[in-house]
């Protein structure tokens, strides 16, 4: 399946900005099931510096600076991606979750060491007693890891209300748990905090999801936007994606941008600027199936 994604971020500043430095993680990752065919970052006005680099987690990151006075900044990320459908493994035949936990705790081969890092509590997904209790219902002793995680994913989908705009980047997990509502980032963090409390390695994924089109104009049922979900490491299967917002197991409609411990590792665009005053940020995402 092929997709074309356009992600446009526009900043408008009340006062002029004399200099800004930014990091963008807007280029789709290459994975065994995802092949970026083309990708381009367009920045207006033209940056003084634009450097492409790979971060600690293997994501493509663009560092760019605007060193001349400006009052508006537009970042356009275009990409074409080919997804080969993932065949989810038979969850019931995955190893008991305790075995996975023990393997990453004990073994220090590169794969286990890397996975171990994702089993540790991260600043954006702190362990909460309520969450531990919540997850324990799925993580019963001896249960196959992927089966347990799949159930947890569906329970989050059933128990929490998806309410766009109900939270922002800084909303604490406690609040999500208390109000039982949030957005995709929150649900991913929620699942990560719960799994890691049990020592299970799981990472945060930022990306896009394709929305089914309706009508002649091919409009999406809901406006396209960035999406987030999580991925659990399971020996022999590698990283397996789960989408708690949709209660689903991603197959060929999820485009992965970047992976990390939590949102702060992969935030699509972040900048520090001098001046600016009041600012208006607009984000528009469009995902087309080719």
Partner 1 sequence: MDARTSENGALGRVGFGLPERWTYETPLAEIDEALATSGEVRPPFAAFFAALRNVSPEELSRRFDRARRIIRENGVTYNVYGDPRGMDRPWQLDPLPLVVDGAEWAALERGLVQRARLLDAVLADLYGPRRTLASGLLPAELVLSHPGYLRPLCGFRPAEGVHLHSYGVDIARGTDRRFYVVDDRTQAPSGAGYALENRIVIARMLAQPFRDCRVERLAPFFQALRDGLAGLSPRRDNPRVVLLTPGPYNETYCEHAYLARYLGYTLVEGGDLTVRDRVVYLKTLGGLERIDVILRRLDDGYCDPLCLRPDSLLGVPGLVHAVRAGSVVVANALGSGVLETPALPAFLPRLCRELLGEELKLPSIRTFYCGEPESLAYVIEHLSDLVIHSAWPGPASGEAVFGGELGQSERAELVAKIRHRPGAWVARERPALSTVPVYDGHSLKPRHFGLRAFLARRGDEYVVMPGGLTRFASSRDSLVVSMQRGGGSKDTWVLSSGEPSSVTLLHPPGLPIAIVRSGADLPSRVADNLFWIGRHVERADGTCRLIRSLLLRAAEEEGERSPEIGALVRALGADFEQASGIPSRPGAPLDVGLASVLFSDERHSPKHEIALGYRAASRVRDRISMDTWRVLSHLHLEVERAARRKAFDTSDALELSFSLLLGFSAFSGLVMENMTHGPGWRFADMGRRIERAAFMVRLIRSTLLEVASSGSLDAVLDVADSTITYRSRYFGTLAPEPVLDLLITDETNPRSIAYQLVALKEHVGQLPRARSTPLLSAESKTIVEALSVVRLADLERIARADAHGHRGELAALLGHLERALPTFAEQITLSYLAHVQPSVLVEGVA
Q: What SS3 class is residue 171?
A: coil
User: x/- site string to partner 1, residues 204 to 243, per CB under 8 A?
Assistant: --x------------------xx-x---------------
CA distance 59 to 44: 23
Instruction: Kindly state whether residue 42 participates in binding partner 1, applying the rule CB under 8 A.
Output: no
**Closer CB to partner 1, 124 or 250, in the complex:** 124
Integer-rounded Cα Rg, in Å, for the chain is 20
Which one-letter DSSP state was computed for residue 200? Answer: -
Q: Does residue 51 belong to the site contacting partner 1 (CB under 8 A)?
A: yes
Rounded CA gap, 103 and 184, in Å?
Answer: 30
As measured in angstroms, the least distance from the Cβ of 178 to partner 1 is 21
**Nearest distance, CB of residue 50 and partner 1, angstroms:** 11
Question: If binding is defined by CB under 8 A, does position 178 make contact with partner 1?
Answer: no
Which lies closer to partner 1 via its Cβ, residue 150 or residue 261? Answer: 261
Number of residues that bind partner 1 (CB under 8 A): 46
Q: Does 121 bind partner 1 (CB under 8 A)?
A: yes
246 binds partner 1 (CB under 8 A): no
Residue 183 CA to residue 161 CA, distance in Å, equals 8
The tally of CA atoms less than 13 A away on the side-chain side of residue 5 is 32
**Smaller CB distance to partner 1: residue 1 or 8?**
8
**Residue 120 or 140: which CB sits closer to partner 1?**
120
Q: Which three-class secondary structure state does DSSP give residue 113?
A: helix
Which CB, 112 or 146, lies closer to partner 1? 112
Q: Report if residue 152 touches partner 1, rule: CB under 8 A.
A: no
Q: Which residue has the tokens 């997850």?
A: 135
Out of 30, 120, 163, 222, the only residue in the binding site for partner 1 (CB under 8 A) is: 120
Beta bridge partners of 72: 12
Cβ distance to partner 1 smaller for residue 94 or 231: 231
Q: Which residue in the set 30, 49, 136, 222 belongs to the binding site for partner 1 (CB under 8 A)? A: 49
Token pair in block for residue 234: 């399971």
In this structure, what token pair is assigned to residue 229?
A: 């979900």
Residue of 163, 159, 144 lying closest to 240 (CA atoms) = 144
Nearer to partner 1, 31 or 167 (CB): 167
Instruction: Read off the tokens for 266.
Output: 């992969």
Contact status: 113 vs partner 1 (CB under 8 A): yes
SS3 of residue 116 by DSSP:
helix
DSSP state of 165: T
Candidate residues 111, 275, 286, 289; the one interacting with partner 1 per rule CB under 8 A: 275
- Interstrand relation of 181-182 and 161-162 (parallel, antiparallel or unpaired): parallel
Q: In angstroms, rounded to a whole number, what is the distance separating the alpha carbons of residues 256 and 149?
A: 20
**Positions that interact with partner 1 (CB under 8 A):** 9, 11, 18-19, 21-23, 48-49, 51, 55-57, 63, 65, 67, 75, 108-110, 113, 116-117, 120-121, 169, 185, 206, 225-226, 228, 263-264, 267-276, 279, 281, 283
């Amino acid at each position: 399946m092929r997709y074309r994604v356009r992600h446009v971020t526009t900043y408008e500043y009340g006062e002029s900005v004399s200099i800004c430095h930014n990091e963008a993680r807007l280029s789709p990752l290459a994975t065994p099931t995802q092949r970026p065919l083309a990708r381009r970052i367009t920045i207006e006005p033209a940056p003084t510096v634009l450097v492409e680099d790979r971060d600690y987690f293997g994501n493509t990151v663009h560092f760019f600076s605007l060193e001349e006075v400006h009052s508006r900044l537009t970042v356009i990320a275009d990409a074409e991606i080919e997804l080969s459908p993932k065949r989810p493994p038979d969850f019931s035949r995955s190893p008991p979750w305790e075995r996975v936990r023990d393997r990453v705790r004990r073994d220090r081969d590169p794969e286990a060491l890397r996975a171990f890092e994702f089993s540790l509590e991260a600043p954006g997904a702190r362990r909460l007693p309520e969450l531990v209790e919540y997850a324990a219902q799925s993580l019963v002793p001896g249960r196959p890891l992927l089966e347990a995680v799949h159930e947890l994913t569906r329970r989050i989908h059933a128990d929490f209300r998806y309410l766009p705009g109900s939270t922002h980047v800084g909303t604490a997990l406690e609040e999500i748990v208390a109000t039982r509502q949030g957005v995709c980032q929150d649900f991913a963090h929620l699942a990560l905090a719960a799994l890691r409390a049990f020592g299970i390695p799981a990472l945060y994924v930022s990306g896009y999801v394709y929305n089914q089109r309706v009508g002649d104009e091919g409009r999406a049922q809901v406006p396209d936007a960035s999406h987030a979900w999580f991925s659990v490491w399971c020996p022999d299967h590698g990283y397996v994606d789960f989408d708690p917002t949709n209660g689903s197991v991603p197959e060929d409609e999820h485009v992965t941008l970047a992976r990390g411990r939590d949102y702060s590792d992969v935030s699509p665009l972040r900048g520090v600027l001098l001046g600016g005053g009041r600012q208006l940020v607009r984000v528009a995402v469009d995902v087309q199936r080719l």
